[in-house]
Structure 1
């Protein structure tokens, strides 16, 4: 950023510029990680979300409340934040902004998205198997919860639930980058979990883990092919919500900073 630009900008504009610069600074190493680092971080992301799903199922089983269960799921998002692991839908704002700034390529982005999604699901599948073996009392709750998503249908309404899910989780990423306060970041994670899981929004990884829990019980009326079809619908909606509802508008607002980053990108690798 040029010194004169910093003087001419108001406090709000400076905060937007600083957040954009922070996003690109973080995104560059994320998109250029080794395969080993990317796979390990993504597996941990699936496990961390699994901890939240375990808490969600317990609270839903004990209370029958969707809202309290959503609040309990915040354990998973806090684990992601403090454990520095990777969740698929957290890969919209930061990596896309980094590519737009010229600090990485579109193939780097595709590599990251595919690896994170697959490894999130693998880590979550294993973790939910452990949970279902350890807590057989949760089987009926898990089977019913999984069926709610996988058998929810492919309608405009369910697609909108997936769009909202992608937008909400990407908003959380932006809130995390808008402050240096860990207390504020944790608050954003709790609020996001409450809205995402408590309101029944569709999220490709979170709800896949719930579906896996049901599948591990052997009590479901759906199978893995049904889940794969549902996953494709949820991923599409999450991407639309994450990119259009949240990322695109913030990229427009930060266009000048990202353009500056693009000019500096060759020297910063």
Structure 2
């Protein structure tokens, strides 16, 4: 089906949109709807494994950092954790910004479901990460100093402005990484996307609440001079700004460029099945 026939099928020139954007709207709405409608046990287990799976990246990061002293190489190694999230179909908090947002705007979910998804994923990421951090501390006593150095660097920021910018950048980077992975079925491209995302997040010392929390938990369990209050204050600043970075910088502009398709589904001008057929 050519572009002209596609526009006629979707209801006229109001839906004159490139094939790539039509595919984006379709895949994000379908996947977002699936995630919003997960049953409670599935949502909890998926979030727990998100914390555990990304812990694999933390292990690689700490190993490479201690062996080489390079944050750049450590960041690339951390990308293994992001790849594990993708291949194991688990969830990380800031992955959830674009997909459910499109689903809700297209009328395939509710804001209450979004709140449920975000809150449960965040809490279970932290719980899974805490359990994995405990194992790291027990099994790798020779790496406590490296873990503590990373944790202190996350907690101690030069200014609130720098802290805010690094938090927004982390939210935007991980959200964009998820969208890029949705846009390809090539495993090599997916792996490269994960490696580059890890390189940026770790190499630049970005602040990501769910990721950094695993390192901070491990450092606290290893005896670092970081109190629960220190962590709570840090977390209360970082998480909202992660959300702002992911939503404002990445998700909302992409919603705007596919809004006609999303709104057409919501208003019943065509069904989600029609959209999938046209995209296919």
TM-score, with structure 2 as normaliser:
0.90
SS of the residue corresponding to residue 200 of structure 2 reads: helix
How many Å separate the matches in 2 of 1:30 and 1:119? 15
Aligned residue in 2 for 1:238: 242
Which structure 2 segments of 5+ residues have no match?
274-280
Q: 1:260 aligns with which of 261, 264, 275?
A: 264
Q: Give the stretch that moved more between structures: 177-186 or 80-89.
A: 177-186
Aligned residue in 1 for 2:106: 101
Q: Give the stretch that moved more between structures: 33-42 or 92-101.
A: 92-101
How far apart are 1:180 and its partner, in Å?
A: 2.5
Q: Does 1:143 align with 2:154?
A: no
Aligned residue in 1 for 2:278: none
Would the aligned equivalents of 2:75 and 2:195 in 1 still touch at CA under 8 Å? no
Aligned residue in 1 for 2:228: 224
Count of aligned positions: 267
How many Å separate the matches in 2 of 1:266 and 1:126? 46
RMSD: 2.2
How far apart are 1:166 and its partner, in Å?
A: 0.5
How many Å separate the matches in 2 of 1:196 and 1:264? 41
Aligned residue in 2 for 1:207: 212
Would the aligned equivalents of 2:151 and 2:219 in 1 still touch at CA under 8 Å? yes
How far apart are 1:225 and its partner, in Å?
A: 1.6
Highest CA radius of gyration, 1 or 2? 2
Q: Does 1:249 align with 2:232?
A: no
Would the aligned equivalents of 1:38 and 1:112 in 2 still touch at CA under 8 Å? yes
SS of the residue corresponding to residue 267 of structure 2 reads: helix
TM-score, with structure 1 as normaliser:
0.93
How far apart are 1:268 and its partner, in Å?
A: 6.2
How many Å separate the matches in 2 of 1:211 and 1:266? 48
SS of the residue corresponding to residue 39 of structure 1 reads: helix
